[in-house]
A and B are shown apart, each in its own frame.
Chain A
């Protein structure tokens, strides 16, 4: 299909990903949690996840994915780095400057975007904004997570869901009718529901003291059922908003790349939007929920064809959500 959107735009030029080598299957988790492969698969669609070893930090995965994205763009450098992560190497400083420096990009603009599982869509919008503002000519946008460090290993409601990984894209300034053009964006939040998905301790609200540790408050707490409901509702609304803003309908969408949290959420969103099953991209079975890394990891796996209109939609802690559209370019990926 053809999309005509006038004006300048951010254009996607490169794509790369990195995941830790160790794979943890549902059967392995079932050895210490009272669950089973069948239980996890039927409720989440997840069969396995990649898990970082103790010596690997989020920036390590981000650097690997970022280098691959720059290579795929045929570019040695970028003049800004936006890193979406919920699981930074340290509470301070932001992970992005270290990622930039290790990629050989000293002194460039570098910032972390904390949009939970919707972070990468916010980071893409941030990158597009830096281009539009004239701050940068080429932006590296990374989503990188070591979520397995944030989950309570004994909490069945979350321990089976998350995985580790990173994905990155390169954005450059271009025209809205070029292959790779990205936008418009629909972004939103509902902070009244912040407690539905949160790590209660470890910030200025509550220290990680002995009580917090005893209550496991230093780990992710999630009201899974309400999050499920909100995720479906918000991704559907946001997808409709972004299509309307672009003057398109769901029939124009060649592929839907939703945040890979749970296969059943993706199906519920696809069913409501009317996206046929064969147009929905899903790799949650292999990686679990990798939060801000999930959409770029799915883009790598999706086998997208140049010219296809791709709908990206994500939802996560905050609550935060966001959607955008892009015309798939002809890319060398690795």
Chain B
């Protein structure tokens, strides 16, 4: 009876699983591409650093805080026109990826900034004293030194995106969270509910284990 019930939802669950993966992958990719440079920018424009610039630092900082302070559920709705503009639709996982990316970029950028901040200032200074260009310092000192921290940041961002992606169901985004609410919660079907929750727990554990493993491997300290 129990197995039957799980078996019957498998095709739908499978679809939902890949929708989630798809949303997380796209928005994680976008947040890496945009968030990493943004995080570096937040760091290097700080006082006493390579490109000290109070104006850029303040502007970027305020923008990041602004997006981060809007609850995701509101961001999701507020960004519908932008989503329409970019993807031509407001329904489905691709559409949901837009708001997910917008939310993840500043989140990831702050995490990158934090991991850069942990680098001993002396190491940066030693590179300046050697006569290296700022670009070389970013590529060969900042990024390698912050690598373990950045890997951790990617893990945290991916796990958060998994959580946020569940909310995307509200606007018809699809994915595991959406599936759990529609089939499990609304239909009072505990089997489905528990199955999906277990699946999410397994995914989160897996991401954490992989992330920790990679972070440990790249850490030479």
Q: Do A and B come from one complex?
A: no
Q: Which residues of B are interface residues toward A (Cβ below 8 A)?
A: none
